[in-house]
Structure 1
Amino acid sequence: MDIKHNALLTWLEYLKKFNKNITLNLTNVYLIAKRLNLLSMNAFIFTVAGTNGKGTTCAMLEKIFLNSGYRVGLYTSPHIVSYLERVKINGNILEEQYHVFSFLQIEKARGSIILSFFEFITLSALFLFKHYLLDIIILEVGLGGRLDATNIIDSNISIITNIGIDHISLLGADRESIAREKSGIFRSGRIAIIGDSNIPNCINKIAKSNKVILKKNNIDWYWTHNHNNSWNFFHEYINIYNLDIPKIPISSVSVALSAVYYSGLQVNINTIRKSISTIYLIGRFHTISYFPQIILDVAHNADAALYLSKKIRKMNIHGKIYAIIGILNDKDIRNIILPLKHTINYWYAAPLKTNRTATIYQLKKYLFTDNTFFLKNIHKAWIEVKKRLHPEDLVIVFGSFITVSEFIIAKKIDG
């Protein structure tokens, strides 16, 4: 690559070629991290895995610790609109030049060693974190856990938010197999927090054999609803009553709170309350408009779609409900659509701008009623939906991170 042309977009186009370099071991990424002295971070580290809720759990942790005065680094994936979203330092994205400099260092260090795209950018994030004086680093696992690039780092606390069926070609077709991969982030003698209340047997076995300290939902900590539209959090170390209902799932907030209190890092209850009342995350049941109401949600597997359907049914919608949907072809299309089949009045389905998209033909297998319309892309879908909207209607955009991203771009263009 000609490093004279080192703008961020040029680099990202170059790194896309690395997508085919998917390895099933951490040897190469570990070697380069060792060369760059990235394996030991002088910070308290949380590693967050799970089928759903990773992003919201990471965001909640970040919010609480920033509001408590800590210096925090956050690494998440995928991004919604811009690559810059993936790395945050003290709640802020970095300017492009810092990423470009980091990419250059990783490229020089790797030499002829082959990396995947995700391995490369994970090393880049770690390189950036290493050069800031951070108290806390939060790493969101990209896929699985055991063989994910983030797993070259030994975390102080590992978290599995939940365990559902997704990425079966890489992680396995049942919860036991998937849990085994996710529990690869556990570290001997350290705490591992499990947000799923139905824990596969292998997790207990792996934790026992590796002397991992498991902290389980509904056993070591739990939460309850109140009748006054608030909730309570109960933990081995603290009980907190009458918390505001957050704009992200309470399950994610409670997992994050459990991790905060098991970490031993100092926070106060007023900071916790403030953080919960102000947290939100783009694309997680995220309202961007009222009258009509438009909600963005990155739900892209069966469990997330079921949660989304429950949220919509609790809403008091007086008008029609429109769905704009695009899905990747390696997802469980049927069970992403099924939970919402009888809730949505009109479906607007479209392929996404990626070679991994589900085609119109694939979508038609599960959306074949008179209330479904198939468009060339998400932008065209939005144009058509707008023609029919009334102030009392609801538009829900879901199916993939890419769906939400393409809709945001379309709405910026057309309003």
Structure 2
Amino acid sequence: MTDVSPTATETARAELARWLAHAEGLHPRGIDLTLERVRRVYARLDLAPDVPVVTVAGTNGKGSTCAMLEAILGQAGYRTGVYSSPHLVHFEERCRIDGRPVEAAALLPHFAAVEAAREGDPLTYFEFTTLVILRLLAQAGLDALILEVGLGGRLDAVNVVDTDCAILTSIDLDHCEFLGPDREAIGAEKAPIARPGKPMIVGDPLPPASVLTHAASIGADLWLHGRDFRYAGQQGEGGRWQQWSWSGRSQRHHGLAYPALRGANQLLNAAAVLAALEALRSRLPVSAQAVRTGLALVELPGRFQVVPGEPTLVLDVAHNPHAAATLAQNLDQMAYHPSTHAVLGAMKDKDLAAVIAPLLPLVDVWHLCALPTPRAADLDTLQAALDTARATRAQGRVPGPQQPRVERHAAPREALLAALGQTDPADRIVVFGSFFTVGGVLQNGLPRREAPHLGRA
């Protein structure tokens, strides 16, 4: 007789799902950008960390920056804790200790503690779960804490924690309904993660003036790309960097291998990481070997992730125009593929035509898919955005497939299976547009890639 009793992991995940549903129902709005409520509960929980804290904000590159910091510090022998969001498949991915996601069971007592401490304060889902993870990390015996901002910075729940080093990655247009209509306004929202007298690393080579103004107004120790730190390197075939060097205010690294994370923007992220490590060297000294090994071994699913096998499968959570342009550049630098299929699902509050436009010259078949969230764009909206992008491109006479085929699917995995049924081994499939899109194809493990329409066993 087969044992059908749930495993301990399944039981814990079921209880976690109940807590997450509870957190979703506490506040009438999903996003309420203010710090008063979360600060009160944070104070009641007494969570102020006693280890160095690095807080990372920006439009794109936050997750990669956190992962590189985590990998280098881990190679240097430090116990690291990382809070990152959103997740791809399981909520537990949002909290990593020593590079590994925590177990669902480890989170459960912290949900109960936050529930008791909120004393009726109507926290949002993000605020509640941020406090849960901060409490877990506070009790984990860490040497360093790495926090990724969820939205903006000034009023994000993560900003209740006083950071020892702030990193700003790229600053571009996204979440404009909350953060403002241009880079200056968005920079003004992201810069307040910095603290007076503490290092503020700005990885964007052309930061908005609002960022510089804020740094000066609070007396932050401002590190600028091109002034306080820089990188240089040699490019090989296809424009890929082969070796690179970095210099800061007093430290140098030469002959570095390209970071294991793929993509044209990763050297910008890595340069900011090395600046942060130099700024914190009195508290977290790191050897040159730890830098080399950490960058060589760093992993982060869904960031220009090329999955081994045939046809080539690329997973990327690019969900705004800037990230989509970077994705297109990275795809263009890959080896030749006769045909490219794109699986696209996205949120309706994005500039969808601008997200699609950079990929148009590269994509032969579009597989549009619905996503399991009220924020998602429906198939008609995705189709309209694709039509708009194609019409604009036709006016500009941009080279590439002029009449790509378009298919519509109920879910990301269905879209991926359809693409697999149509591609040859030498072709390419790119899945992008949202964490939900990439997470949807990963939900139950990636399907086998054996080009079934070719009749292979």
TM-score when normalising by structure 2: 0.87
Contact kept? 1:287, 1:294, Cα under 8 Å: yes
Whole-angstrom CA distance in 2 between matches of 1:305 and 1:409: 23
Contact kept? 1:317, 1:394, Cα under 8 Å: no
- Per the alignment, residue 304 of structure 1 pairs with 323
Whole-angstrom CA distance in 1 between matches of 2:411 and 2:444: 10
Give the secondary structure class of the aligned counterpart of 2:421: helix
Percent of pairs with identical residues: 34
- Per the alignment, residue 409 of structure 2 pairs with 375
Residues 342, 374 of structure 1: alpha-carbon distance in 2 compared, 3 angstrom cutoff: same
How far is 1:134 from its partner?
Answer: 1.3
Amino acid in structure 1 at the alignment position of 2:427: D
How far is 1:66 from its partner?
Answer: 0.8
- Per the alignment, residue 216 of structure 1 pairs with 224
1:71 aligned to 2:79? yes
1:45 aligned residue (53, 58, 73) = 53
2:36 aligned residue (21, 27, 32) = 27
Whole-angstrom CA distance in 2 between matches of 1:383 and 1:6: 28
How far is 1:411 from its partner?
Answer: 5.0
TM-score when normalising by structure 1: 0.95
- Per the alignment, residue 390 of structure 2 pairs with none
- Per the alignment, residue 408 of structure 1 pairs with 442
How far is 1:205 from its partner?
Answer: 1.4
Give the secondary structure class of the aligned counterpart of 1:367: helix
1:241 aligned to 2:254? yes
Amino acid in structure 2 at the alignment position of 1:252: N
How far is 1:354 from its partner?
Answer: 0.9
How far is 1:332 from its partner?
Answer: 1.1
2:369 aligned residue (343, 350, 362) = 350
Contact kept? 1:288, 1:294, Cα under 8 Å: yes
Q: Within 5 Å, which residues of 2 pair with 1:86-97?
A: 86-97=94-105
- Per the alignment, residue 253 of structure 1 pairs with 270
How far is 1:413 from its partner?
Answer: 5.8
How far is 1:247 from its partner?
Answer: 3.1
Whole-angstrom CA distance in 2 between matches of 1:17 and 1:50: 28
1:399 aligned to 2:433? yes
1:276 aligned to 2:295? yes
1:144 aligned residue (144, 152, 176) = 152
List runs of 5+ in structure 1 lacking aligned partners: none
How far is 1:318 from its partner?
Answer: 3.3
Q: Within 5 Å, which residues of 2 pair with 1:79-90?
A: 79-90=87-98
Give the secondary structure class of the aligned counterpart of 1:62: helix
List runs of 5+ in structure 2 lacking aligned partners: 1-11, 237-241, 388-402, 450-457
* Number of aligned positions between the proteins: 411
Amino acid in structure 2 at the alignment position of 1:24: L
Amino acid in structure 2 at the alignment position of 1:215: W
2:110 aligned residue (61, 86, 102) = 102
Residues 227, 166 of structure 1: alpha-carbon distance in 2 compared, 3 angstrom cutoff: closer
Contact kept? 1:351, 1:359, Cα under 8 Å: yes
Amino acid in structure 1 at the alignment position of 2:186: I
Whole-angstrom CA distance in 1 between matches of 2:270 and 2:148: 15
Whole-angstrom CA distance in 2 between matches of 1:132 and 1:387: 46
1:313 aligned to 2:313? no
Instruction: Using the TM superposition, name which of 187-196 and 311-320 deviates more.
Output: 311-320
Contact kept? 1:190, 1:213, Cα under 8 Å: yes
Whole-angstrom CA distance in 2 between matches of 1:115 and 1:41: 21
Contact kept? 2:343, 2:429, Cα under 8 Å: yes
Cα distance per residue 1:220-244 (max 9 Å; x no partner): 1111121452111121121212211
Q: Within 5 Å, which residues of 2 pair with 1:178-217?
A: 178-217=186-225
Kindly report the root-mean-square deviation, in angstroms, between the aligned alpha carbons of the 2 structures.
Answer: 1.7
Instruction: Using the TM superposition, name which of 239-248 and 53-62 deviates more.
Output: 239-248
Whole-angstrom CA distance in 1 between matches of 2:79 and 2:412: 39
